[in-house]
């Protein structure tokens, strides 16, 4: 996928920077909402090597050449090449290491395959060979332990999110390690808990309404709409208000949404809360598209699947990075088309990473479970391995586009709040990959290397 050039909307970014940065239009980055105490703020997070060092991608182990000679740039070779794309280097103020170049003679079928280092053992949670990513430091174990303790107490005692027989699955999800890795700049554990409750609530809805624990595409729209009212309250007549309020306690998904949203709105500004509701509506619309395809047994075109995944994806998680960090990116800056592109690309890349890591898990589930490798194989007539490797390419292209767009926006709109938010989204992307790679309870890789 070629990395797009500057969009037309970006021509207005310098003006936006001057308007919002110099004069503090709207609420400032550190101002507290009316009637709420100011949240503590962490230090600014620069784009730089000290905060986010660049690590080379571990290449895959040698793959024997097939009988017919491959084209000069095969799928696997293009993956091994590593990061590329206009503007990608702008996120890092140190030169990138040049990727290893395999001479043409080595690539030919008459010569032996290059001796590339093997990936670490799968038991350690190895990354997908060739997947473009940035390793992150191990999350703070003290914070992981405390978040894990608090979230389990919330899920069990406050909202009764799952029965005792699901306890091993809840523990195996490792949500405490997940959220600490994704939000290392959270000032306090209370801030981390904002994201952790919302993450668990989203998964309760997905499991109970859509997939693993009794979910079904049949009637999903009605269930999702009623659950969404736990995030976006119904304003009705006095006669019917009590019935709606009581309905929010009627099942685990609605109890979880209601409670997690109450905690979130205590810390978020009205603008941040409305932003989150909007992104959750996007998520629910994506759920419904996938459910409609399941009901009609329709395998979408690859372009259609990627469009669905822009909605049914992780977007609600990185979009709250400022709330969890204890500051606010004002609505005017968040709504910039260039910022919306960055957030969309971050959500798209991380969601395709999920498709790749959960591939074998989903193949073991009953029925046809759509993910990008499955759709590519069906629509483009490729083998399972070829389709999976092409899906890795799609992920890498999305990551390069995300980094290029973020670097371009950081230069075009150098408001410190914009740069800090971009940094938070980038760190979330890295932490999300870390969790998928290390969660061997849930995920294992296919034997394609």
Q: Is 320 exposed, middle or buried (0-12, 13-18, 19+ CB in 10 A)?
A: buried
Give, in order, the Cα–Cα distances in Å from 200 to each of 117, 197, 203, 204: 38, 5, 5, 6
Opening angle at CA 175, ends 164 and 40, nearest 5: 125
User: In a 3-state reduction of DSSP, which class is residue 138?
Assistant: coil
Contact by Cβ (8 Å): 321, 198: no
User: In a 3-state reduction of DSSP, which class is residue 424?
Assistant: helix
Q: How many alpha carbons lie under 13 Å from residue 315 in its C-beta half-sphere?
A: 26
Give, in order, the Cα–Cα distances in Å from 427 to each of 309, 315, 323, 411: 21, 14, 15, 18
- 373-384 pLDDT per residue, tens: 999 999 999 999
Cα–Cα distance measured from residue 402 to residue 342, given in angstroms and rounded to the nearest whole number:
6
Contact by Cβ (8 Å): 418, 329: yes
In 81-215, alpha helices (H): 104-107, 141-153, 167-173, 175-182, 189-205
pLDDT exceeds cutoff 70 at 291: yes
pLDDT band at 212 (very low <50, low <70, confident <90, very high): low
pLDDT exceeds cutoff 90 at 220: yes
Separation of CA 298 from chain center: 26
Cα–Cα distance measured from residue 82 to residue 435, given in angstroms and rounded to the nearest whole number:
21
- 132-170 pLDDT per residue, tens: 999 999 999 999 999 999 999 999 999 999 888 888 889
| Residue matched to tokens 């206009």 | 86
Q: What pLDDT shows up at residue 213?
A: 57
Helix 270-296 to helix 220-228 angle (10° resolution) is 170
Cβ-based neighbour number of residue 345 at 10 Å: 23
pLDDT exceeds cutoff 80 at 1: no
Q: What pLDDT shows up at residue 132?
A: 98
Cα–Cα distance measured from residue 388 to residue 375, given in angstroms and rounded to the nearest whole number:
10
Q: What is the arithmetic mean of pLDDT over 305-328?
A: 97
Separation of CA 115 from chain center: 33
| Residue matched to tokens 């690590």 | 55
pLDDT exceeds cutoff 90 at 108: no
What value does the mean pLDDT of the chain take?
A: 79
- Give me 267's structure tokens: 């810390």
**Per mean pLDDT, which range of 106-110, 133-137, 242-246, 331-335 is the poorest?**
106-110
For residue 414, which of 18, 92, 11, 24 has the smallest C-alpha distance? 18
Contact by Cβ (8 Å): 17, 415: yes
pLDDT exceeds cutoff 90 at 245: yes
**Per mean pLDDT, which range of 35-44, 274-283, 392-401, 435-444 is the poorest?**
35-44
For residue 316, which of 353, 356, 274 has the smallest C-alpha distance? 274
User: In a 3-state reduction of DSSP, which class is residue 245?
Assistant: helix
* All residues at 6 or more sequence positions from 296 whose CB lies less than 8 Å from its CB, including other chains: none
Q: What pLDDT shows up at residue 319?
A: 95
**Per mean pLDDT, which range of 117-131, 217-231, 251-265, 416-430 is the poorest?**
117-131
- Give me 30's structure tokens: 């550190």
pLDDT band at 214 (very low <50, low <70, confident <90, very high): low
Contact by Cβ (8 Å): 128, 357: yes
pLDDT exceeds cutoff 50 at 428: yes
Q: How many alpha carbons lie under 13 Å from residue 137 in its C-beta half-sphere?
A: 11
Give, in order, the Cα–Cα distances in Å from 185 to each of 32, 96, 239: 19, 25, 46
Contact by Cβ (8 Å): 208, 272: no
Cα–Cα distance measured from residue 232 to residue 79, given in angstroms and rounded to the nearest whole number:
42
Q: What is the arithmetic mean of pLDDT over 167-181?
A: 94
Cα–Cα distance measured from residue 56 to residue 252, given in angstroms and rounded to the nearest whole number:
43
* All residues at 6 or more sequence positions from 33 whose CB lies less than 8 Å from its CB, including other chains: 27, 268, 269, 270
For residue 131, which of 342, 440, 404, 430 has the smallest C-alpha distance? 430
- 24-56 pLDDT per residue, tens: 333 333 333 444 433 333 333 333 333 443 333
Q: What pLDDT shows up at residue 133?
A: 97
How would you classify residue 253: left for phi > 0, otherwise alpha for psi between -120 and 50, otherwise beta?
Answer: alpha
């Amino acid at each position: 996928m070629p990395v797009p050039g500057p969009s037309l909307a970006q021509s207005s970014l310098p003006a936006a920077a001057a308007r919002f940065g110099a004069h503090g239009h709207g609420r400032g980055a550190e101002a507290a909402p009316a009637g709420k105490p100011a949240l503590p703020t962490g230090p600014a997070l620069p784009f730089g090597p000290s905060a986010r060092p660049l690590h080379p991608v571990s290449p895959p182990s040698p793959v024997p050449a097939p009988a017919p000679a491959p084209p000069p740039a095969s799928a696997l070779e293009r993956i091994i090449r590593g990061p590329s794309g206009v503007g990608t280097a702008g996120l890092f103020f140190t030169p990138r290491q040049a990727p290893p170049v395999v001479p043409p003679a080595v690539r030919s079928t008459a010569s032996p395959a290059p001796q590339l280092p093997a990936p670490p053992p799968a038991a350690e949670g190895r990354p997908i060979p060739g997947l473009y990513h940035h390793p992150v430091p191990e999350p703070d174990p003290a914070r992981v332990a405390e978040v894990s303790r608090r979230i389990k107490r919330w899920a069990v005692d406050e909202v009764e999110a799952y029965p005792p027989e699901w306890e091993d699955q809840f523990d195996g999800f490792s949500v405490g390690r997940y959220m600490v890795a994704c939000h290392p700049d959270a000032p306090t554990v209370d801030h981390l808990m904002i994201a952790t409750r919302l993450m668990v609530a989203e998964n309760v809805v997905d499991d109970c309404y859509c997939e693993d624990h009794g979910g079904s595409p049949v009637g999903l729209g009605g269930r999702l709409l009623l659950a969404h009212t736990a995030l976006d309250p119904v304003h009705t007549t006095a006669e019917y208000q009590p019935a709606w309020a009581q309905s929010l306690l009627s099942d685990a998904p609605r109890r979880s949404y209601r409670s997690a949203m109450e905690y979130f709105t205590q810390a978020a500004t009205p603008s941040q809360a409305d932003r989150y509701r909007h992104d959750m509506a996007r998520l629910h619309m994506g759920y419904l598209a996938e459910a409609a395809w399941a009901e009609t047994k329709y395998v979408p075109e690859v372009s259609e699947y990627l469009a669905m995944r822009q909605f049914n994806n992780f977007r609600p998680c990185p979009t709250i990075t400022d709330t969890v960090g204890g500051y606010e990116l004002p609505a005017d800056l968040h709504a910039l088309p260039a910022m919306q592109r960055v957030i969309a690309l971050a959500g798209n890349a991380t969601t395709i990473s999920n498709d790749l890591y959960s591939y074998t898990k989903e193949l073991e589930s009953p029925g046809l479970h759509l993910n990008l490798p499955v759709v590519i194989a069906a629509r483009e007539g490729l083998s399972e391995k070829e389709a999976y490797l092409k899906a890795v390419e799609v992920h890498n292209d999305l990551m390069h586009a995300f980094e290029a767009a973020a670097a371009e926006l950081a230069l075009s709109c150098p408001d410190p709040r914009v740069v800090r938010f971009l940094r938070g989204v980038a760190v979330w992307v890295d932490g999300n990959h870390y969790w998928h790679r290390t969660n061997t309870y849930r995920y294992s890789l296919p034997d394609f290397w």
